[in-house]
Structure 1
Amino acid sequence: MLERPIIKTELPGPKAKQIIDEDTKYVTPSFIRYPYKLAIEKAYGVWIEDTDGNVFMDCNSGFAVCSTGHCHPEIVEAITKQAQTLIHMCGTTYYYHHMPDLAKKLDELVPIKAPTRTYFATSGAEAVEAALKLAMYYTKRQRFISFVGSFHGRSLATLSLTASKKIHQVGYMRRLLDVVHVPYPKKLHSPFGNLTDDESVSQATINWIENFIFKTTTPPEDIAAIVVEPIQGEGGYFPSPASFLPELRRICNENGILLIVDEVHSGMGRTGKMFATEYYNVEPDIICLSKGIGSGLPIGVCVARADIMNWPRGSHASTFSGNPVCIASALKTIELLENGLVENARIIGNYLKDELVKLLDKYECIGDVRGLGLMIGVEIVESKQTMKHAPEKRDKIELECYKRGLLIFGGGGISVIRFAPPLIFTKENVNVAVEIFDEAVKAAISN
C-alpha cells in the first residue's frame, strides 16, 4: 500500500507539458487552474497519478467532490451495474424508481422535519438556481439576502448571490437578481471593527440586517429568502458562529422569509455530520446539495418542504434531471457515508486540525486554523501582528506542496489554504500530509 507521494520527473513532466500546451490552444481560458500545473491520468483512494507517473496525495478531493475517495470499488460497481441497464431516459418526462429511491432517502436524512420533495439537478449552481426560482414562486417576492464571501455558483442567477471574488463579476454588468450582500460573521477581517469573539460579530451582522437593511433599502416584506452557507467555502472555510443560523431562522420566521441553506460544499459528511446545519440545530426551508453526494458524478439536489415545492407541472425541469447512473452513485455514496465515513471525517478531521494547529506557534505566516471535520482552512498572513492577507506567500506554499507531492488548494477569501481530503483519510495520511505541508511552509518563507 502506498504511504507517501512519488515524484519521478520534473514537474510538470514531458507528457503533462504536451497536454497543457494543447489545452492552452483549444480549451477556454476561463477555467481557474492552479499556481501549479497538473495533468491527471488516473486516481485511486487518496492518490492521484499524473501522465508521467508521478503520484500525489490528494487533499482537495476534486474541490470536495470525491467524498468516498477516488474510484471507490463499491462506487465503481454501482455505476457499472446501472450503466448496463439504463443510462438515461429523461426523468422529467418518464418515471423510474431511481428518483423516488434517492428522494425518499434524502427525506429521511435532511435536517427538515416536515415532509420534503426533491428537485434533481446536475450541479450545485443548478440546485441553488432551483431554490431561487422556488422561493420566488412560493413567496411571490423577488429580493434576496446573501453574504460577503459567499459562493453559490456562476450561472447568472447564482452569480447574483456569489460575493467571494471580483473576477467572478467583472464583465457581466448588472446582476440578474435583486440581492443585498451582508458581511458574513467572522472576527478575522470583520468590517464591524475590533470585535474579539464570534458571537459579537454574529450579533453585529444580525443587527445590520434588522436595524439597517430592513429599515432603509430592503423591506423584509419584499424578501423571498436569505441564502447562507453554514460554513463558507470560497469565503475561507469559516464556520458560522453558534447563534448565527438560529438568529437567521428567527428573522425568517418573523417576516415570512424562506431560509435557504447552501450545503453544496459542506454537506454529505464532510464536516463530521451528514450536514453542517446539524451543528446549529436549525431547520432550513430549502437545502441545496451537490459535490460530495455523487462521489464524482455530476448531480445536485434541491430539497424543500413539500408544501413549498408544490409548483405545477412544467414550471421547472431539466433534460438530465435524475440521471439513473448519477443517482446510483449517490445512493451508494450515502450508504458508505452512513456506514462509517461521516464518523471518520469527524475523528480524522479533529486529528488533522490539531496537527495543523501545532504549526501556528512555529510559523509567523500561519495566522489561523479553523474548520469542522475534513473542511479545514489555514489562513496565511504577513504576520500575526497585522494579520494582513498574504496571497503571494499562500501561492508559494501551494506550489512547494505540489513539488513534494501534496495537492492542496488555495482560494477561500484572499490567502487561505483549504484542506478537504477524501473522507477515507487516515491518521497515517494526516501525518504525511502535515509533514509535507510543514516542509513546504518552511521552504516558501525561506525563498
Structure 2
Amino acid sequence: MEIRSSFAATLAPSRRRTVETTCRFTFFCYQRDSEKSRALARKIIGKCKQDGGIDDKNRDSGCAALVRSLSRKRMPHVAHELLLELRIQGFQPNSSTLSALMLCYAENGLLPQAEAIWEEIVNSSFVPSTQIVSELFDAYGKMGHFDGVARIVDQVGSRDLKFLPQVYSLAISCFGKGGQLELMENTLKDMVSRGYMVDSATGNAFVGYYSIFGSLTEMENAYGRFKRSCLLLEEEGIRAMSFAYIKERKFYKLGEFLRDVGLGRGNVGNLLWNLLLVSYAANFKMKSLQREFVRMVEAGFQPDLTTFNIRALAFSRMSLFWDLHLSLEHMKHERITPDLVTYGCFVDAYLDKRLGRNLSFALNKMNLDDSPVVLTEPLVFEVLGKGDFQTSSEAFLEFKRPSEWNYRKLIALYLKKQYRRDQIFWNY
C-alpha cells in the first residue's frame, strides 16, 4: 500500500483517481475470479466425496484424475484451488497429483507455475516418471519454451537420476520437433560426453529432424555420423531423407543414398527399390528404370502395387502403350489388383493421344465394377504428381462414399467431362 500511495502521489489528482480506481477494479476482478474458482473447487470436492470418487483409499488417484479433467476443460485455476482446499482438509498430494497439476499448468500456458511445481517435485523425495517428463516436454515444445526443457535436462543431470538417458532422448526429440537443431546437437553431445550410448530410435530421430529442418549438407553430415555409430537407418529415417532429396529434386543423390543404405535389406520391404525406381522415372530414364526393375526381381524382391504403378506412370507419360499393357499382364500374373492410379495411367495415356475410342481395349482386361481406391505409396506423387483422371476422380469421391462409385461410373463421367470441354473449345 505504501508503494502504491507513493506512486499515486506523484500523479496529477485526476490521474491519481484513475489509477486508484483501476487498481481497485483489477483487485476486485481477481478476488471475484478467485472466489468463483474456490467455490467451484469446493463443489467438485463435495460431489466427488458423495459419489465416492475421493475417499481414503483412492484419494491420490482420484485427485490426479480430477486435475487432469480440469486441465482438459481449460480450468487450471480451479485445479489450483482444488488442491489448496484439499491441503486445508489435511490431504498431502503425492507425485501423481503434483505431476498432474504441473502438466495442467504447462498445457494451459502457465509456465512459471508449472516450473514451480517441477522444482517442488525435484527437491522432494518424489521421482517423476519418464511419461510425465515426456508430456511436460511436449507442452513446453508447443509453447516454444525450449529454455525450460534445457533447464530440466540440467536439473535431472545434476541429480544423476536413473532415467537420465531417456530424458536426453526426449529432449532431443522435443528440440527436433521445434526445429531447434543447435539445441538438439548440444544435447546429443552432452549425452555422449556422459558416456551414454545413442540408441537406434534417438539416432533415427536425429537424422530425421535434420532432413526436415536442415540443409542437405547438414543432413548428410548427420547421416555420416549416424553410420559411424554402427546403427541401422530404419524406415522413418529412410523416408525422411528420401523426401528431402525429392523436395530438392536431387534424384542422382537419392539413388546414391539408397544404394548406400543397402538395396538388399529385407526389413524395409520394397521401399528402397521403389524409391530407386521413382528416381529414374522422375527424369524418364526408361532403360535404367527397366534395368533396375529386372535387378529387383533377380534379387528376390516381389514387385508390389507401388512398383507397378511407378512404371505405369512413366509409360503413360511417355505414351509407351505396349509396355503399359505388358505391365498390366505382369500385374495379373502376380495377382496384384490395380487401383485408381493404374486405371488413370491407361485413361490419361489414351486420351492424351486422342485414342479414346480404343480405350475399351485396355479397360476390358480390368474389373470396372470394383470400388475405387488409392493404395500407392504417397511419395510417388511427390515425384511424378497425379494424373488428370486421378485428380478428377478424387474430387468426385469427396462428394460420395467410394462404395457408391465404381471405375465404370468414374470413367464414364470423366469421358463426358472431356467431351464437353472439347465442345466448348471448338465453339469458340
Question: How would you bin the TM-score normalised by the shorter chain?
Answer: under 0.3
More strand by percentage = 1
Q: Pick the structure with greater CA Rg.
A: 2
Per chain length, whose mean CA-contact separation is higher, i.e. which structure has more relative contact order (CA < 8 Å, sep 6+)? 1
TM-score, normalised relative to structure 2: 0.25
Normalising by structure 1, report the TM-score: 0.24
